[in-house]
Amino acid sequence: MDSPMPTYKISPLKKIFKIIRVTFKLLLAFLVITAIVTTLVVYNCGDEDFKFDFNDKLVGNVTQLNSVRVGHEISPTTEQEIISAITDTSGPISIGGGRYSQGGQVAYPDSLHIDMRKFNKVLAFDKDKKQITVQTGIRWRDIQDYIDPYNLSIRIMQTYSNFTVGGSLSVNVHGRYVGEGPLIKSVDQIKIVLADGSLKTASPTENSELFYGAIGGYGGIGVIVEATLNLADNIRVERTSDVMDITEYKKFFFDNVRDNQAAVFTNGDIYPPNYERVRSVTWIKTDKSLTDEQRIRPRDAEYYWGPKIVDFMADYDAGKWMRQHILEPVYYLSTPVVWRNNEASYDVRELEPASRKETTYGLREYFVPVEKFDEFVPKMRAIFQKHEADIINVSIRHAHQDPGALLAWAKTEVFAFVVYYRQGTSREDQEKVKLWSKEMIDAAVSVNGSYYLPYQVYESRAQFAAAYPHAQDYFALKQRLDPNFRFRNQLWAKLYPDDDLQFDKDNVKQYFRGEEQTFLTIPEWYLVFNPVEYANYLTADKAPSRFPFWESISEYWRLYDRVRKVTEDIYPENSQYITMLRVIGISTTIEYMYKGLYEKTIGTFTAWTAGGELTPEDKIITQAQLAYSKLIYDEAWYKFDFFPWIKKIWADTDFFGKNFIRKLERKLFFSLEFAIKTGYAKIIGYAATSSYEQSDGFIYMTAKGAGDVQSPAKILEQKGDAYLLAVPRWGVFTAVLPDLVEQGFIFQDISGNTRIVLSYIGSGDTNGLKDAKLLFASPLVSNPQQQRVYVYAAVSNLKHAMQELKAKGFSLEHIYDY
């Protein structure tokens, strides 16, 4: 008898595992399809061809950071043009030369900018007295070309010869010259045009206060138009080099260099990242034969390897090691003999990188009393290593005490620590540099030293006052000669204390915001206004299946591309904000993509079964969308409480009843949508609170006016008719600011910025705008007969800009805070 066939039963546990595997595969397939479709949708949206030109006069600098939009620019060639430009105008004036200062020291927003680079003639020359008189827009290299045939050399200047004389005077430069110090020591006299248009001559004995205030005064006293400079002999010099521990450098310098009458140039290069070894390089007067017959470096020299080597050192610690242990030991084996003018005619192009778009190079400089050298170096080392600063080189220079400049950086005999570093250009990277820069200022001040002012303006007013004890004398002179604070730039905009609007903004923790954010918030706010359109659409009893979800997706990415194009070449990249825009854009694309697909199919079918009649569920969904659209105007979307609305749609409506299919479908669809959003909101809320510094909820500004500042705006400080104000962010900001404008308040800055974006709704004509400038415009996706118009305006001119748009039939929708 045959035995029966065995039977196999699948255990319940295996069934569960099988269901899990199938579910996981389906979910994975869904996610892959979603990713592919979303990528295709995003790729085919946007506005890659959009172009925008601010048409502003942009004054930049060598770092390509901190560019400033000026109002009008002139390039004078005569003193009278400069005098007329001052006397024929009444607003702010800024002065620029070679534009090698790095923090906006040569420009001010909406100012009359005097570009001095064509004001560049040699006016007088006396070979026997070794003196030359020049217009101050001339570059040092042009003077070198003029005096070299007479075997003369510039007595004091920077290492590089590209700078203008006027710019060098305004920052009171120094170089590597042994036994010298600040440039002011080699200046016989200057001529300067003051705020009243008068032309004054100043020297150490004539109008001496003006002389000592203007030199090193960063364009705050007037326009230096002429300078008489003392020269030196052009001699042969030979290079010597010694390597030592940094603890030995001070003694070596005093024993071998400081009082050596034959020494001409000297500097010590500290090797990062350890900052423990230094190479001392000194050029000594010699009668030896020249190893390089060139009297002066050629202007058209090609610099290929220098920038690449610097980039390599910046990229890798191995590059820094190779420089210290291989490249420089080989380089310094030779002892070249050259003319002084050859060694003094370096071109900044030898360090210029191929691009400064993502990274750039900058300088900072700190001055330390010579007796405090060994105390300062460990502080410097600790700061750089703590912040992992990408330091390429720290060059040690020496300077004798300044003879009397009011803003003297050499308060005593000092060592100068010239820090050459690389940084990223993004907003986040700039904040990192700001941290170590301010700590370095504190370190210098702690040893009774100071810091140099031509670089990125990160210092607080307290740090400035500690480093420059005679600043009040300078400001008193400026107040007397320039009572209307006409000569200004980004440095004095921050530090000048006698302007009513110069509140101590550094003490307001979240005062400053990047101006690029007024543009970058446009796509983010679209995700506020689009739900408002959707809620209004439903309120008008229109079918949700007809709402243009796909057009809404396209509009978001159009706005994203446009604001990227507007900001990419003008402002630092704000990578955190841009990443956030991508994240919310992709999540919104997925939501609208599936919601639109669902409403066009199942939603349309169930609406058909109801004969187009609205169910109680439809009305609750409309109420929920209205509540959501109202909250996100003043709060982050993830703070909306989605879950109670799920309970409401089930509790407040009958399960059965008329149009049952539509009722049930609406309940299920709405519950699923808001359940997903409940979970997603918790994730995003957690990420936002853990990843970003939480906003205090205010936008800060300085303004003048005599109106009544009412809640919710707050007065933080008041000086006469000048106010430091705090206004709540988000929707309240748009409600409060027009009231302040109508009361007559004129803003100096909002969040430290001079431009702000506004959007208007209407069907008027945007041609011929004068007080506001059009960015772009788009039809409303839910009502193409109306358009949303985006403009930007000067914060000081908001009243006229708003009046202009209103007169053209537009209604203010939003003012985009930062």
pLDDT at 708: 82
As a whole number of angstroms, the distance between CA 586 and CA 563 comes to 17
Query: Tokens for 484?
Result: 């209307």
Can you tell me the mean pLDDT for 261-281? Answer: 97
CATH code for the domain defined by 62-233: 3.30.465.10
As a whole number of angstroms, the distance between CA 645 and CA 660 comes to 20
As a whole number of angstroms, the distance between CA 239 and CA 491 comes to 38
Contact 616, 557 (CB under 8 A): no
Grouping H, G, I as helix, E, B as strand and the rest as coil, residue 196 is: coil
The per-residue pLDDT for range 385-436, each reduced to its tens digit, is 999 999 999 999 999 999 999 999 999 999 999 999 999 999 899 999 999 9
pLDDT at 1: 47
Q: Which range has highest mean pLDDT (9-23, 93-107, 535-549)?
A: 93-107
- 183, amino acid identity: L
As a whole number of angstroms, the distance between CA 275 and CA 268 comes to 12
Q: What is the mean pLDDT of the chain?
A: 93
Whether residue 273 is preceded by a cis peptide bond, meaning omega within 30 degrees of 0, is: yes
pLDDT at 8: 54
The per-residue pLDDT for range 641-661, each reduced to its tens digit, is 999 999 999 999 999 999 999
pLDDT at 499: 59
**Burial (CB count within 10 angstroms: exposed 0-12, middle 13-18, buried 19+), residue 587:** middle
Strand partners, 194: none
DSSP notation for 642-706: -HHHHHHHHHSS-SSSTTHHHHHHHHHHHHHHHHHHHHHHHHHHHHHHHHSPPP-SEEEEEEE--
Element holding 749 (H helix, E strand): strand 746-750
Categorize the per-residue pLDDT at 77 as very low, low, confident or very high, splitting at 50, 70 and 90: very high
Query: Tokens for 54?
Result: 């601010």
pLDDT at 18: 77
The per-residue pLDDT for range 93-147, each reduced to its tens digit, is 999 999 999 999 999 988 999 999 999 999 999 999 999 999 999 999 999 999 9
As a whole number of angstroms, the distance between CA 712 and CA 324 comes to 60
pLDDT at 7: 55
With left for phi above 0 and alpha for psi between -120 and 50, is residue 649 left, alpha or beta?
Answer: alpha
| First-last CA distance in the chain | 90
How far from the centroid of its chain's Cα atoms is residue 181's Cα? 32
pLDDT at 681: 87
pLDDT at 301: 86
Sign for the CA dihedral angle at 667, 669, 674, 675 comes to positive
CATH code for the domain defined by 236-455: 3.40.462
As a whole number of angstroms, the distance between CA 633 and CA 78 comes to 56
**pLDDT exceeding 90 applies to what percent of the chain?**
76
Categorize the per-residue pLDDT at 735 as very low, low, confident or very high, splitting at 50, 70 and 90: very high
pLDDT at 139: 98
Q: What contacts 148, CB < 8 A, 6 or more positions away?
A: 234, 295, 296, 341
- 150, amino acid identity: Y
Angle at 26 between CA 24 and CA 31, to 5 degrees: 90
Element holding 728 (H helix, E strand): strand 722-728
Does pLDDT of 687 surpass 80? no
Categorize the per-residue pLDDT at 576 as very low, low, confident or very high, splitting at 50, 70 and 90: confident
Does pLDDT of 500 surpass 70? no
Q: Which of 339-353, 356-370, 619-633 has the lowest mean pLDDT?
A: 619-633
As a whole number of angstroms, the distance between CA 181 and CA 191 comes to 22
From the list 753, 647, 765, the residue with the least C-alpha distance to 699 is 753
Does pLDDT of 87 surpass 70? yes
Contact 197, 240 (CB under 8 A): no
Does pLDDT of 682 surpass 50? yes
**Number of Cβ within a 10 Å radius of residue 240:** 17
Can you tell me the mean pLDDT for 59-77? Answer: 92
Grouping H, G, I as helix, E, B as strand and the rest as coil, residue 308 is: helix
Q: What is the pTM of this model?
A: 0.83
Can you tell me the mean pLDDT for 7-11? Answer: 61
**pLDDT exceeding 70 applies to what percent of the chain?**
98
DSSP 8-state symbol, 540: T
The per-residue pLDDT for range 699-723, each reduced to its tens digit, is 999 999 877 888 899 999 988 888 9
Can you tell me the mean pLDDT for 604-625? Answer: 93
Q: Which of 257-261, 367-371, 455-459, 687-691 has the lowest mean pLDDT?
A: 687-691
- Sorted by where each begins, the domain ranges of the chain are 22-50+515-691, 62-233, 236-455, 698-816
How far from 136 is each of 105, 210, 455, CA to CA, in Å?
17, 17, 21
Helices 575-598, 549-567: inter-axial angle, 10-degree rounding = 170
With left for phi above 0 and alpha for psi between -120 and 50, is residue 179 left, alpha or beta?
Answer: left
Query: Tokens for 670?
Result: 């709405």
Does pLDDT of 501 surpass 70? no
Contact 749, 702 (CB under 8 A): yes
**Number of Cβ within a 10 Å radius of residue 663:** 22
Sign for the CA dihedral angle at 613, 539, 551, 617 comes to negative
